[in-house]
């Protein structure tokens, strides 16, 4: 995308081996892969990435090559099939690591060391290897082997209890939110490690606990508990220093617009958009403090106006007046959003099994730095390529290993 053949890629010459399934490891590798690293993910028909079974499937037809979550996360990656239960499989993995810069380990703590592929083993064959292990709660400690996943870790990290309505049970944050946070922390740790290696020649090992990095998001509330003994309450959509502040029903089925009015200036602009109805002049809405105090009444009055308009109109009118407002976008809105289109955030890439497949570019962009997007690979698609081009195997050797079941 947007680069000529002579352009340098950011991670040109960097090779990454991924022993990781589902969200965190593969997502952190995306930042390297889209910017030119050669990222090789190991999977096998006997142990495919469970992400391949995560819906939605293309056109609602389940299949190993049809998950649109897999296609969204695993783009730009080379996929090698390797059976690590086979002793020769482990040797091949070692050979691969000996020619690599980074190893990402997202499997259950202890799995790779047991296979002879722990950091101490890999350091022997590649002294400056950078290895990052990412799991739920870290490689050590009494809960390190306790199974878990990113859909519910938001509960343990204190994110779910503060999300929802004060008069109801917590509704929690949707999806594996903590996976995303851990993926970003993993990716940035790898960036720092590459720089450190450039300066010092040293590789190193990282133990990243998804739990520990997500607790940073709760830091102010933890300090509040430690010094004031207070537990934060669920606030719904309220904000203690802005009103109106919330999500307002608009015209259409399940259509909503978020609004946030902070200053008096914004309040006046907001009222003008509504055509300055009489209630906006009431003294109980005259100051921020007073508006916050009467936000329940204010919310229902605001909704009498928003409900008559589609959310797109509310957003446009408010933003033109300098008020923070936005459509609560559903999946369809996201694909039609002109800003996301402009930034090329979402796209469909040609795919041999499904025609097209959903791809989502990493969030950050760097001025003048080229990236490219290639569809997610089929299971084992690049096994032969990696064996021949990277591992320099002869055809005979490859065929022998193949019939030996090393790639099963």
Partner 1 sequence: MQDGRQSIEGMLSPYRALDLTDEKGLFCGKILGDLGCDVVKIEKPGGDRARQIGPFYHDVYHPEKSLHWFAFNANKRGITLDIETADGQDIFRKLARSADFVIESFAPGYLDELKLGFSELSLLNDQIIVASITPFGDTGPYRDFKASDIVAMAMGGLLGLCGEPDRPPVVPGFSASYLLGGIEAALGSLMALRWRRIRGRGTQVIVSLQDEVLTASWDAASYWGGSKMISKRSGAFSVRPNVSYRITWPCKDGFVTFFYFGGQTGAEGNRALVEWMDREGIECGRLKEQDWSSFDWDKLNQDEVDYFEKPLLPFFMSHTKAELYEGAIKRNIILYPLANAEDIVNNRQLQARGYWTELDHPELGARIAYPGAFVKASETGCTTRRRAPLIGEHNEEIYAKELGFSKEKLATLRQAGAI
Catalytic site residues?
179
| Cα–Cα distance for residue pair 18/383, rounded to 1 Å | 14
Q: Judged by CB under 8 A, does residue 60 bind partner 1?
A: yes
In the region spanning residues 207 to 226, those forming contacts with partner 1, defined by CB under 8 A, are 207-209, 211-213, 215-226
Query: Cβ closer to partner 1: 113 or 326?
Result: 326
Distance CA 158, CA 136 (A): 14
Phi, psi torsion values for 256, nearest 5 degrees:
-145, 155
List the x/- string, 88-117, binding to partner 1 by CB under 8 A: ------------------------------
* d(C-alpha 293, C-alpha 243), whole Å: 9
Between residue 113 and residue 152, which ones bind partner 1 under the rule CB under 8 A?
A: 119, 132, 137-138, 140-149, 151-152
* 364 near partner 1, rule: CB under 8 A: yes
Residues 372-401 that bind partner 1 (CB under 8 A): none
Q: Applying CB under 8 A, what is the total number of residues that bind partner 1?
A: 153
Cα 367 from Cα 369, distance rounded (Å):
6
Q: How far is CA 265 from CA 192, 286, 294, 316, 360, in A?
A: 43, 11, 18, 18, 38
Question: Which residue, 9 or 88, is less far from partner 1 as judged by CB?
Answer: 9
Contacts of 119 (CB under 8 A, 6+ apart): 113, 129, 131, 133, 205
Q: Which is nearer to partner 1, 173 or 391 (CB)?
A: 173
Candidates 74-82, 195-203, 289-297, 386-394 — which segment interacts with partner 1 by CB under 8 A?
195-203
**How crowded is residue 330: how many other Cβ atoms within 10 Å of its Cβ?**
11
Q: Is the CB of residue 204 less than 8 Å from the CB of residue 130?
A: yes
- Is residue 342 within the footprint of partner 1 (CB under 8 A)? yes
Residue 126 contacts residue 46 (beta carbons within 8 Å): no
Nearer to partner 1, 92 or 130 (CB): 130
Which 155-174 residues touch partner 1, going by CB under 8 A? 155-165, 168-174
How many whole angstroms from its chain centre is CA 310?
30
Tell me if 278 contacts partner 1 by CB under 8 A. Answer: no
Q: Does 181 bind partner 1 (CB under 8 A)?
A: yes
Find the binder of partner 1 among 254, 278, 296, 396 (CB under 8 A).
254
Asked if 19 touches partner 1 (CB under 8 A), the answer is: no
196 forms part of the interface with partner 1 (CB under 8 A): yes
CB of 394 vs partner 1, minimal distance in Å: 34
- Per CB under 8 A, the list member of 5, 6, 114, 198 interacting with partner 1 is 198
**Residues 247, 258 contacting (CB under 8 angstroms):** yes
Cβ of residue 91: shortest distance to partner 1, in angstroms? 25
Q: How far is the CB of 191 from partner 1 (least distance, A)?
A: 4
| Angle in degrees, 0-180, between the axes of helices 264-273 and 311-320, rounded to the nearest 10 | 130
Measure the CA–CA gap between 363 and 371, rounded to whole angstroms.
Answer: 12
Scanning 234-343, the segments in alpha helix (DSSP H) are 264-273, 288-293, 295-306, 311-320, 331-336, 338-342
Q: What is the DSSP secondary structure assignment for residue 283, as one 8-state letter?
A: G
Nearer to partner 1, 92 or 260 (CB): 260
* 204 near partner 1, judged by CB under 8 A: yes
**Residue list 311-340, contact with partner 1 (CB under 8 A):** 319, 322-335, 337-340
């Amino acid at each position: 995308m947007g680069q000529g053949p002579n352009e340098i890629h950011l991670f040109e010459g960097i090779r990454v081996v991924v022993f990781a399934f589902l969200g965190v490891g593969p997502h952190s590798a995306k930042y390297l892969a889209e910017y030119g690293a050669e990222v090789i993910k190991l999977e096998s028909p006997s142990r495919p990435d469970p992400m391949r079974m995560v819906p939605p499937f293309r056109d609602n037809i389940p299949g190993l090559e049809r998950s649109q979550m897999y296609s969204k996360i695993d783009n730009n990656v080379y996929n090698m099939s390797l059976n690590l239960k086979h002793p020769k499989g482990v040797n091949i993995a070692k050979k691969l690591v000996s020619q690599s810069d980074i190893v990402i380990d997202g499997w259950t703590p202890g799995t790779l060391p047991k296979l002879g592929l722990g950091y101490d083993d890999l350091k022997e064959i590649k002294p400056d290897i950078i290895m990052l292990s990412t799991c739920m709660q870290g490689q050590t400690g009494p809960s390190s082997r306790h199974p878990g996943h990113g859909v519910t870790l938001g509960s343990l990290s204190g994110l779910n209890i503060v999300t929802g309505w004060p008069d109801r049970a917590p509704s929690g944050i949707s999806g594996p939110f903590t996976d995303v946070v851990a993926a970003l922390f993993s990716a940035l740790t790898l960036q720092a490690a590459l720089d450190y290696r450039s300066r010092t020649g040293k590789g190193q090992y990282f133990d990243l606990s998804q739990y520990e990095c997500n607790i940073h998001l709760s830091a102010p509330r933890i300090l509040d508990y430690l010094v004031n003994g207070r537990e934060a309450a669920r606030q719904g959509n309220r904000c203690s220093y802005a009103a109106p502040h919330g999500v307002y029903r608009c015209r259409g089925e399940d259509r909503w617009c978020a609004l946030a009015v902070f200053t008096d200036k914004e309040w006046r602009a907001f009222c003008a958009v509504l055509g300055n109805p009489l209630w906006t002049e009431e003294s109980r809405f005259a100051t921020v403090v007073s508006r916050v105090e009467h936000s329940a009444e204010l919310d229902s009055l605001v909704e009498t106006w928003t409900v008559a308009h589609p959310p797109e109109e509310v957003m446009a009118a408010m933003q033109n007046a300098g008020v923070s407002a936005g459509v609560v976008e559903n999946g369809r809105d996201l694909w039609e959003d002109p800003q996301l289109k402009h930034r090329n955030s979402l796209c469909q890439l040609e795919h041999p099994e499904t025609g097209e497949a959903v791809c989502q570019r990493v969030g950050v962009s760097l001025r003048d730095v080229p990236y490219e997007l290639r569809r997610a690979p089929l299971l084992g698609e690049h096994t032969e390529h990696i064996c021949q081009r990277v591992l320099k195997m002869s055809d005979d050797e490859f065929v022998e290993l193949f019939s030996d079941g090393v790639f099963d």
